């Protein structure tokens, strides 16, 4: 506190014009910094303000939305839009987590194995090429993945479902959503895991080989274990992306109005796709409720992040065979 | 080594090969799909045309002279030509499968170049153009020629007459000029907002801030922005920047300005981190030498430090541009999804990425145009990435050579 | 020689165009400690790595000549390198335990060879740690991470790890240069003990160490083997003047 006050005092004491200019410029820099730092607060405050509205106001006569029912509900909206206040997001939370973790489960092995291939097995030229391919995949905007999913995956899944005797609405399904998300988080996981693998010390690798282990044994038993921490970080980042992905998911998910939906050919909704649904004309409670869903999304991401970071620290201490 | 061991060994190796192949396959599939569906629409008209089809009713006043041009060689037998009027029609099918009549050639001396717009008499230089779709031609003393009767019949009907009452036609639409211009506006505005704030923040954090808890706190707050999905930024834009711009500018709804402000916030962490990285690389000796020569902090910063950090800032800018071009979720909320041909920064519009979203959520989804736009986006992003690689490589070379 | 585990003749090694080893001829004796001394860059570590073919990991490394392990040239085509390395173990300059438990570190080698039986593994781990003089210090924390051990303990762990493979030869590349004097002493005592059962080849920067613990000493200089004899001979009555110069500290 004392230093703060003396700093402010110093601010107004200068010797000549150049020093004054200097101080003003420094002030401008400081201002920029404060602006940058304050956005996270602005985001939280304003979204919370809009998002709380359905729960505490009367919503123009429709009635308050019950928070508990909201959190645990298994149907998005009972009754007609703009006339009902029975919104439920509970099943969507379950759907979102289910899909995100499923995507991680599939993308993690593929990504780590590819990273291993690039870092340790492929000859140099091939490694370079593959690394560039991964970078390209990472740079593709999510909307293009959505287009790809919509144009290629949906028809394929529709036919696949038909061969199982399941009538799927155009192919929109849990399977399509998971597939698209796997494609989208794969580059992140691969790139970060590759860095982690490459940074495992050479002496560890040599130590293993000197004991008579094969290259493959060395790769899988020692190098991957040493890169554990980095690989786990890549997984955390990947799942963050999976939870927050909006446009691509909304094109393949199908917008289920009740749930939760676990079957591979079921249509589904995620928190993000719900926020985007029917955005073109909407006002009033239907508009405000999207902010509420946004709050829920932020909370889900926060909890997942905290949880996974906790697990990551635990893994760092316990050693795996 | 036992053979069982050998088999397991080989199997594990094979899994890594398969994973790598999978990744390559996916990239190829995406590119192949996008190119296959989109390349048919690539032409100059795509970039210059409006998206929404415009409908016109054209009339002719006094015809001083008729056309004198022969049928050009590049027209085929499927183009039906009228020498008198200097215009050629051909048959085509629109996206929904209906037959339409398309103007495939207009001669320079065609009287149809000097029509008047029946809906807007102030409209000078009104004419029918190559690529327009003719719905019908209404005559004075005979029934109208309709598009469903085909191009040949329409040309014959027109050729027989020296005047007509009205020609109903429309422009093609489906052009992305509006979205292209919007994208440029958004890139420009976003950078104008984000670069100064981001660079100044980086300068403050790296050059002036002391290492104490307050600074760490500030850094933490900025780092938190990276974990927020872009759709949440979109909500913030809707809740903060849209009302702000409505209040203080001519805007009456979500607009390009509010969208750019939103994107600027998204890009702040990227720009700050990138700039800080390149600032860190500048050796302290530079700063000390400058200060020892009597320059104050500001001069040192601007003249010495920033100059050395320029490549890093350039990289951050290119990265940001790539991110802006690809961003969709945030802009859907902060700018809206209405595709427009008249662009104002205080009005709604769509960037290329949001235009794709709009196309895909229509019934039926316009996959061809969406793919074409994707080709443009992918090509640009690829190009930007290559540029970034080149710059970093040169930068690394310069650093290692003692620049 | 009858007592040789390794017979090396006419060994030449090139890294690209640079010749690192020039016509090396030497026999390594069983159950003896052979020290390799010489100034930095003289090729002693390079030579050491020829014995377990760890030089294979370096690109552009060309070798000619014979390295016979029990009369079989280890550089011949289709030679089972993996198996060679189980019999010729290596301890590195900087201790490099795997980021796993102490138990898993020692059990790593046997596990790679397919041993799964928990009891057998435990026995091997216990006996290896005992032979490496580490058992008493870690017997209660076998399931803790190896990274929590001190430098000296980690190095002994690496020795135990090598011993677990029941090798015939243990190669040591400056094993104590990263350790403090007390840890160094412990390792030297250990080596003295180990030679009863294993042939040890140790590269060392310290002549005093070579003099203390080795039975035979080989002096390398610029890629050539200048002199090779019993340690007390090399240190008290060297035949070559270059050897004498090095030992008396005139260079290196």
Question: CA torsion sign, B220 to B226 to B229 to B234?
Answer: positive
Which residue matches tokens 């053979």? B3
Strand pairing category for B80-82 and B87-93:
antiparallel
- Establish, for the pair of chains B and C, how many residue pairs have beta carbons separated by less than 8 Å: 7
Q: Which residues on neighbouring strands pair with residue C89, listed in sequence order?
A: C170
Residues of A in contact with C82 (CB under 8 A): 212-214
Q: Which of A26, A111, A114 sits opposite B208 (nearest CB)?
A: A26
Interface of B with A in 368-387 (CB under 8 A): 370-371, 374, 377-378, 381-382, 385
* pLDDT at site B186: 94
Q: What is the pLDDT of residues C109-137, one digit of tens each?
A: 999 998 989 999 999 999 999 999 899 99
Please name the residue of chain C whose CA is at the shortest distance from the CA of residue A201. Answer: C96
CA distance B106 to B264: 47
Mean pLDDT of C229-245: 89
CA distance C85 to C165: 9
Nearest-5° Cα angle at C112, C190 to C119:
75
Interface test with C, best of A205, A207, A222, A224 (most C CBs within 10 A): A207
Tell which residue, B386, B245, B403, has the closest CA to residue B310. B403
Instruction: Tell me whether C205 touches chain A (CB under 8 Å).
Output: no
- Tell me which chains share at least 3 CB pairs under 8 Å with chain C: A, B
Instruction: Tell me whether B298 touches chain A (CB under 8 Å).
Output: yes
Residue ranges, CATH 1.10.3720.10, chain A:
86-317
Please name the residue of chain A whose CA is at the shortest distance from the CA of residue B226. Answer: A40
SS (H, E, C) chain B: CCHHHHHHHHHHHHHHHHHHHHHHHHHHHHHHHHHHHHHHHCCHHHHHCCCCCCEEEEECCCCCCCCCCCCCCCCCCCCEEECCCCEEEEEEECCCCCEEEEEEEECCCCHHHHEEECCCCCCCCECCCCCCEEEEEECCCCCCEEHHHCHHHHHHHHHHCCCCCEEEEECCCCCCHHHHHHHHHHHHHHHHHHHHHHHHHHHHHHHHCCCCHHHHHHHHHHHHHHHCCHHHHHHHHHHHHHHHHHHHCCCCCCCHHHHHHHHHHHHHHHHHHHHHHHHHHCCHHHHHHHHHCCCCHHHHHHHHHHHHHHHHHHHHHHHHHHHHHHCCHHHHHHCCCCCCCCCCCCCCCCCHHHHHHHHHCCCCCCHHHHHHHHHHHHHHHHHHHHHHHHHHHHHHHHHHCCC
Separation in Å, CA of B5 to nearest CA in chain C: 7
Q: What is the pLDDT of residues B299-351, one digit of tens each?
A: 777 777 777 788 888 888 999 999 999 999 999 988 888 888 888 888 888 89
Least confident of A13-17, A305-309, B53-57: A13-17
On the question of pLDDT at A296 being above 70, the answer is yes
The domain total for chain C is 1
Residues of C in contact with A123 (CB under 8 A): none
Regions of chain B with pLDDT less than 70: 1, 95-97, 399-403
Q: What is the pLDDT of residues C29-55, one digit of tens each?
A: 999 999 999 988 888 999 999 999 998
The CATH number covering residue C39 comes to 3.40.50.300
On the question of pLDDT at C2 being above 70, the answer is no
- Establish, for the pair of chains A and B, how many residue pairs have beta carbons separated by less than 8 Å: 228
Residues of A in contact with B272 (CB under 8 A): 36
* Contact (CB<8Å) C104/A206: no
* pLDDT at site A282: 61
* Contact (CB<8Å) B2/C114: yes
Q: What DSSP designation does A213 have?
A: -
Instruction: Tell me whether C109 touches chain A (CB under 8 Å).
Output: yes
Q: What is the pLDDT of residues B141-194, one digit of tens each?
A: 888 888 888 888 888 888 888 888 888 888 877 788 889 999 999 999 999 999
On the question of pLDDT at A320 being above 50, the answer is no
Residues of B in contact with C114 (CB under 8 A): 2, 4-5
Residues of A in contact with C85 (CB under 8 A): 209-212
* Interface ipTM: 0.88
* Contact (CB<8Å) C99/A225: yes
User: What is the overall mean pLDDT for chain C?
Assistant: 91
Please name the residue of chain C whose CA is at the shortest distance from the CA of residue B1. Answer: C113
Q: Which of C57, C92, C145 sits opposite A207 (nearest CB)?
A: C92
CATH class label, B53-170: mainly beta
Interface test with C, best of A199, A204, A210 (most C CBs within 10 A): A210
Three-state secondary-structure class, residue C226: strand
Least confident of A98-112, B207-221, C226-240: B207-221
Separation in Å, CA of A320 to nearest CA in chain C: 7
* Contact (CB<8Å) A245/B229: yes
Residue C42 domain-assigned?
A: yes
How much of chain C, in percent, has pLDDT values that exceed 90? 65
Domain range B177-400, its CATH number among 1.10.3720.10, 3.40.50.2300, 3.40.570.10, 3.40.50.720: 1.10.3720.10
* pLDDT at site B70: 80
Q: What is the pLDDT of residues A34-66, one digit of tens each?
A: 999 999 999 999 999 888 888 887 777 777 778
Instruction: Tell me whether B12 touches chain C (CB under 8 Å).
Output: no
Instruction: Tell me whether B218 touches chain A (CB under 8 Å).
Output: yes
Interface test with C, best of A319, A320, A321 (most C CBs within 10 A): A319
For C93, the domain range is: 4-247
Least confident of A157-161, B108-112, C7-11, C171-175: B108-112
* Contact (CB<8Å) B5/C83: no
* pLDDT at site B337: 84
Interface test with A, best of B352, B361, B373, B381 (most A CBs within 10 A): B361
CATH superfamily of A86-317: MetI-like (1.10.3720.10)
Interface test with B, best of C80, C114, C116 (most B CBs within 10 A): C114
Residues of A in contact with B221 (CB under 8 A): 36-38, 40-41
Residue C252 domain-assigned?
A: no
């Amino acid at each position: 506190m004392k230093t703060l006050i003396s700093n402010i005092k110093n601010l107004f004491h200068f010797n000549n014009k150049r020093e004054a200019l200097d101080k003003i410029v420094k002030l401008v820099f400081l201002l920029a910094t404060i602006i940058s730092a304050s956005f996270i607060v602005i985001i939280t405050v304003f979204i919370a303000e809009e998002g709380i509205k359905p729960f505490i106001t009367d919503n123009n006569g429709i009635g308050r939305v019950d928070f508990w029912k909201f959190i645990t509900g298994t149907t998005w909206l009972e009754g007609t839009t703009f006339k009902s206040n029975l919104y439920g997001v509970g099943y969507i939370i379950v759907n979102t987590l289910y899909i995100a973790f499923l995507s991680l489960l599939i993308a993690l092995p593929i990504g780590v194995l590819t990273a291993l291939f690039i870092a340790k097995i492929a000859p140099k030229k091939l490694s370079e090429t593959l690394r560039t391919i991964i970078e390209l995949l990472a740079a593709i905007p999510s909307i293009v993945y959505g287009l790809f999913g919509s144009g290629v995956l949906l028809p394929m899944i529709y036919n696949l479902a038909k061969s199982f005797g399941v009538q799927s609405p155009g192919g929109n399904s849990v399977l399509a959503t998971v597939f698209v998300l796997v494609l989208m988080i794969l580059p992140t996981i691969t790139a970060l895991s590759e860095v982690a693998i490459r940074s495992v010390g050479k002496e560890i690798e040599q130590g293993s080989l000197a004991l008579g282990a094969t290259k493959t044994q060395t790769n899988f038993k020692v190098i991957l274990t040493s890169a554990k921490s980095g690989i786990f970080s890549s997984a955390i980042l990947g799942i963050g992306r999976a939870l927050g992905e909006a446009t691509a998911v909304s094109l393949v998910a199908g917008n289920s109005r009740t749930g939760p939906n676990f079957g591979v050919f079921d249509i589904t909704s995620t928190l993000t796709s719900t926020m985007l649904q029917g955005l073109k004309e909407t006002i009033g409670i239907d508009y405000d409720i999207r902010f509420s869903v946004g709050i829920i999304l932020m909370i889900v991401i926060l909890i997942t992040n905290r949880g996974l970071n906790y697990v990551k620290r635990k893994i760092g201490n316990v050693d795996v065979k | 080594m036992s053979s069982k061991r050998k088999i397991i060994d080989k199997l594990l190796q094979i899994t890594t090969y398969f994973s790598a192949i999978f990744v390559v396959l996916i990239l190829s599939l995406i590119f192949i799909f996008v190119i296959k569906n989109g390349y048919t629409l690539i032409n100059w008209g795509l970039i210059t045309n409006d998206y929404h089809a415009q409908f016109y009713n054209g009339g002719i006043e006094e015809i001083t002279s008729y056309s004198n041009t022969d049928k050009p060689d590049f027209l085929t037998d499927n183009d039906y030509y009228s020498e008198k009027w200097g215009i050629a029609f051909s048959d085509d099918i629109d996206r929904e499968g209906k037959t339409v009549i398309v103007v495939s050639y207009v001669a320079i001396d065609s009287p149809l170049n000097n029509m008047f717009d029946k809906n807007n008499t102030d409209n000078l230089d009104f004419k029918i153009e190559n690529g327009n779709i003719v719905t019908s031609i209404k005559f004075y003393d005979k029934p109208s020629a309709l598009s469903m009767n085909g191009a040949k019949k329409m040309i014959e009907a027109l050729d027989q007459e020296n005047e007509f009452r009205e020609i109903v036609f429309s422009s093609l639409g489906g052009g992305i000029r509006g979205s292209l211009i919007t994208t440029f506006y958004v890139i420009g505005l976003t950078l104008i907002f984000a670069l100064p704030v981001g660079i100044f923040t980086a300068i403050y954090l790296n050059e002036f801030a002391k290492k104490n808890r307050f600074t760490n706190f500030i850094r933490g707050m900025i780092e938190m922005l990276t974990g927020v999905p872009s759709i949440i930024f979109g909500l913030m834009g809707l809740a903060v920047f849209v009302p702000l711009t409505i209040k203080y500018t001519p805007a009456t709804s979500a607009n390009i300005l509010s969208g750019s402000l939103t994107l600027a916030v998204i890009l702040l962490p990227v720009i700050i981190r990138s700039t800080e990285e390149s600032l860190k690389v500048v050796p302290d000796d530079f700063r000390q030498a400058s200060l020892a020569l009597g320059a104050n902090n500001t001069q040192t910063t601007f003249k010495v430090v920033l100059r050395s950090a320029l490549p890093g800032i350039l990289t951050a800018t290119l990265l940001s541009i790539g991110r802006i071009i690809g961003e969709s979720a945030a802009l859907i909320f902060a700018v809206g999804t209405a595709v427009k041909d008249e662009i104002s920064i205080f009005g709604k519009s769509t960037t290329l990425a949001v235009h794709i979203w709009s196309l895909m959520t229509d019934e039926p989804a316009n996959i061809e145009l969406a793919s074409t736009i994707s080709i443009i986006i992918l090509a640009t992003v690829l190009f930007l990435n290559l540029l970034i690689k080149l710059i970093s490589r040169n930068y690394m070379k310069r650093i290692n050579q003692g620049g | 020689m009858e007592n040789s585990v390794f017979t090396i003749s006419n060994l030449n090694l090139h890294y690209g165009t640079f010749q690192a080893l020039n016509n090396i001829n030497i026999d390594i004796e069983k159950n003896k400690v052979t020290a390799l001394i010489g100034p930095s860059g003289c090729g002693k570590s390079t030579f050491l790595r020829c014995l377990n073919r760890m030089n294979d990991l370096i690109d552009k490394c060309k070798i000619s000549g014979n390295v016979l392990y029990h009369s079989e040239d280890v550089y011949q085509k289709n030679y089972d390198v993996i198996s060679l390395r189980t019999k010729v173990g290596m301890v590195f300059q900087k201790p490099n335990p795997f980021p796993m438990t102490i138990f898993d570190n020692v059990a790593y080698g046997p596990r790679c060879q397919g041993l799964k039986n928990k009891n057998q593994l435990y026995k091997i781990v216990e006996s290896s740690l005992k032979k490496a003089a580490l058992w008493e210090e870690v017997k209660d924390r076998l399931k803790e991470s190896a990274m929590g051990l001190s430098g000296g303990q980690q190095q002994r762990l690496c020795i135990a790890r090598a011993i677990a493979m029941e090798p015939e030869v243990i190669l040591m590349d400056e094993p104590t240069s990263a350790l403090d004097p007390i840890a160094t002493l412990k390792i030297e005592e250990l080596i003295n003990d180990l030679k009863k059962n294993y042939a040890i080849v140790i590269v060392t920067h310290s002549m005093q160490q070579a003099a203390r613990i080795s039975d035979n000493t080989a002096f390398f200089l610029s890629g050539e083997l200048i002199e090779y004899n019993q340690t007390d001979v090399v240190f008290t009555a060297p035949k070559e003047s270059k050897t004498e110069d090095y030992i008396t500290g005139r260079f290196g």
